[in-house]
Amino acid sequence: MRKKEVLPGFGLSLGYTIFYLSLIVLLPLSAAFFKAGELTWPRFLAAVTSPRVLASFRLSFGAALGAALLNAVFGLLVAWVLVRYRFFGKRLVDALVDLPFALPTSVAGIALTAVYARNGWIGRLLEPHGIKVAFTPLGVMVALTFIGLPFVVRTVQPILEDLDADFERAAATLGASRWQTFVRVIFPEIAPALLTGFALAFARGLGEYGSVVFISGNMPMRTEIIPLLIITKLEQYDYRGATAIAVAMLAASLALLLLINTLQRWTAARSAA
């Protein structure tokens, strides 16, 4: 028998939580695995290793990785600037960093396409230099950079805020240059958070659909991302093919989630110490 709780509502709240979680999340997700179970192993492998699928895996992973790296560098820079400096419009900039979280992805998609197309505000400037963004893999990366932008900033920012300025002053009194202080004192402190933000941005980029489909051009073998391929298969009533790819993606997402959880525990342990 469970011991009696002092506070009421444990059974009700936990029961409802598990019921609702199962109904909305676990049951539908398991449907995907059951459906994939209808495929034999060789057919599953064939479905996820056809040249077109492999090309889209390469594109999705590559572009998500590139975008996450770009965001790691510039996200750290933005977080640094927001924490360390005061400048006109800082509060506004700080609030707008979350825009990619709040803006519907289809809106982001058409806006980025309009800006980076050949005749767009930025595309027009790049065109004479032979740089094409829209309808190329580079366009996919631009969209994923937009979508992943807040992650690194928002994971690194609180760590930087908590970093004691005395820490750096101590390094300086010990004779470290500013660069040495950054590399040897500050960077190790923020590294777990930076890695977490990077992984979050990467995971988000891998699954992103709305902001990419407008700017990518969706050419098979060239600019077709995995989520789009799933939709294409669905529209051709190839449910098994779609499910096979989806299950492969789910596996990748779950692995990333596990990694991110581990990283976050590491970050928490670090900041608690």
Partner 1 sequence: MENEPMSIEVARVSKKFGAFPALDDVSLKLETGELVALLGPSGSGKTTLLRLIGGLEQQESGRIFFDGADAANISIRERQAGFVFQHYALFRHMSVLKNVAFGLSVRPRAKRPPRAEIERRARELLKLVQLEGVERRLPAQLSGGQRQRVALARALAIEPRVLLLDEPFGALDAKVRKELRRWLRKLHDTLRITTVFVTHDQEEALEIADRVVVMNQGRIEQIGAPREVYDHPASAFVCRFIGNVNEVGAAFIRPHDVEITSRRNGAPSLDAVVEFVNTAGAVAKMDLRLEGSGELLEAELPRSREAELALKPGDRAFVKFRDVRTFPS
Partner 2 sequence: MIRRLFLIGAALAFLVLFLFVPLAAIFAEAFRRGAGAYFASFRDPDALSAIRLTLLAAAIAVPLNLVFGVAAAWAIAKFDFAGKSLLTSLIDLPFAVSPVVSGLIYVLLFGAQSWLGPWLSAHHIKIIFAVPGIVLATLFVTFPFVARELIPLMQSQGRDEEIAAVSLGASGWQTFLRVTLPNVKWGLLYGVILCNARAMGEFGAVSVVSGHIRGETTTLPLHVEILYNEYNFVAAFAVASLLALLALVTLGLKSFVEWRMNP
Q: Is 24 in the site for partner 2 (CB under 8 A)?
A: yes
User: Which residue among 9, 42, 51, 130 contacts partner 2 (CB under 8 A)?
Assistant: 9
Any idea what DSSP says for residue 26?
I
Alpha-carbon distance of 54 to 18, in angstroms, equals 37
77 binds, among partner 2, partner 1, none (CB under 5 to 8 A by kind): partner 2
Q: Is 4 in the site for partner 1 (CB under 8 A)?
A: yes
Alpha-carbon distance of 209 to 80, in angstroms, equals 30
Alpha-carbon distance of 257 to 253, in angstroms, equals 6
Question: Which tokens is 148 given?
Answer: 């992943």
Q: Is 234 in the site for partner 2 (CB under 8 A)?
A: yes
Q: Which residue has the tokens 């098994």?
A: 240
Q: Is 3 in the site for partner 1 (CB under 8 A)?
A: yes
Alpha-carbon distance of 157 to 95, in angstroms, equals 13
Binding segment toward partner 2, per CB under 8 A, in 49-57, 110-118, 162-170, 186-194: 110-118
Three-class HEC string of 232-260: HHHHCCCHHHHHHHHHHHHHHHHHHHHHH
For partner 1, the binding residues in 6-45 under the rule CB under 8 A are 6
User: Which residue among 93, 219, 221, 251 contacts partner 2 (CB under 8 A)?
Assistant: 93
Q: Which x/- pattern, by CB under 8 A, does the window 131-160 give for partner 2?
A: -----------x--xx--x-----------
Binding segment toward partner 1, per CB under 8 A, in 3-11, 26-34, 147-155, 262-270: 3-11
Q: Is 163 in the site for partner 2 (CB under 8 A)?
A: no
Alpha-carbon distance of 31 to 243, in angstroms, equals 10
Site residues (vs partner 1, CB under 8 A): 3-4, 6
